[in-house]
Amino acid sequence: MPDRVLVTGAAGFIGSHLVDALIDGGAEVVGLDNLSMGRRENLSRHATERRFRLVVGDVCDSGAVAAAASGCGAVVHLAAFKIPRYGNALQTLRVNALGTANVLEVAQTIGSRVVLASTSDVYGKSADLPYTESGNLTLGPPTVGRWAYAVSKLYNEHLALAYREAHGLRVAVLRLFGAYGPRQHRSWWGGPQSVFIEHLVRGEAVPIHGDGRQTRTFTYVADTVAALLAALRRPEADGEIINVGGDFEVSIVALARLVHRVLGLEGEPSIEWVPYASFARDYEDVHRRVPDTRKAERLLGFSARVALAEGLRLTIAWQRPLIEAERRVGAGGEPAA
């Protein structure tokens, strides 16, 4: 493990948990975040930590990246803009393309290793399941904006491997599947489980897109972070693309029912069926998304350990008090200390 690590997107969901783990492991950490989606509160436990420094800056600013990376033996690049389901395709493409180019250029200049976070979205609509890292990718047309995220992250992967070929950059690419847990964004940005918790705690119907039969696998954040740490430590990950995910496939409607049950609610959840056409023109969803994780087991010693029900319990224990505190304030009560 390098003595000093730069984490981009450090104040975000996965980034802040990675910072926790690196600091706990004795590393010195520099965090780079423009705080557009990340929150300082996610890093509050390190406010007085001498081995941590937060740089408020943008990965699209090459000077900010170079200054933050100075003296770092490794970079974990998590900063990104996500699925443009409701627009913002241009911002998604710009941030992910330019930001990653800056990180890779700086890393090869100073000789740092890079762990690049990619996404399961790059598999697109592939019917070749479970998804293997050497499998074909099937994306929709550019007229459908939701594919902008997948295209941008696939470009990131190509760019990373091109830097390795041209400059010998030590880089590992991890395709992350459905990370969730405490500090997740409490909107669709954070994933369906986040939205389901939010609505059910408030006593509201659960919004489900389409027919709810589309399936996903989810990965508790501690498992995701364990894979990132392993990629930092293990040179055999260099030059590889590796799936990181759980092995439990669940439909979205079954996920809603599981969240309902873990919350301790009786009966069945009330569901609001949301047609895709109501929020995007020609939206295309993925019917199944399941990773083959044998490569992660072989190269990283990784397998997801936290069962979905347990991970949801831990997530709810974090998210529920926030919702209830906001509800009390909205009802004229005192804000929580």
User: What is the predicted pLDDT for the residue at 335?
Assistant: 47
Q: For residue range 218-275, what is the model confidence (pLDDT) as tens digits?
A: 999 999 999 999 999 999 999 999 999 998 999 999 999 999 999 999 999 999 999 9
Q: For residue range 202-222, what is the model confidence (pLDDT) as tens digits?
A: 999 999 999 999 999 999 999
Q: What does each C-alpha distance from 211 to 194, 215, 227, 253, 271 come to in angstroms?
A: 19, 11, 33, 8, 11
Q: For residue range 302-336, what is the model confidence (pLDDT) as tens digits?
A: 999 999 999 999 999 999 999 999 988 876 655 44
CA-only gyration radius of the chain, Å: 20
Taking residues 161-172, what's their average pLDDT?
A: 98
Which residues have C-beta within 8 Å of that of residue 8, sequence separation ≥ 6? 15, 32, 33, 59, 65, 75, 76, 77, 78, 79, 99, 103
Q: For residue range 77-135, what is the model confidence (pLDDT) as tens digits?
A: 999 998 766 678 999 999 999 999 999 999 999 999 999 999 999 999 999 999 999 99
Q: Tell me which of 12-21, 97-106, 139-148 is least confident.
A: 139-148
- For residue 63, the number of C-alpha atoms closer than 13 Å in the C-beta half-sphere is 0
Which residues have C-beta within 8 Å of that of residue 264, sequence separation ≥ 6? none
User: What is the predicted pLDDT for the residue at 282?
Assistant: 77
CA distance linking residue 142 with residue 144, whole number of Å:
5
3-state secondary structure of 324: helix
User: What is the predicted pLDDT for the residue at 230?
Assistant: 98
Q: For residue range 44-89, what is the model confidence (pLDDT) as tens digits?
A: 999 999 999 999 999 999 999 999 999 999 999 999 998 766 678 9
pTM for the model stands at: 0.95
In the chain, what are the domains?
4-179+219-246+291-305 (3.40.50.720)
pLDDT cut 70: percent of the chain above it = 97
Catalytic residues: 149
Longest dimension (CA), the chain: 61
Taking residues 284-300, what's their average pLDDT?
A: 96
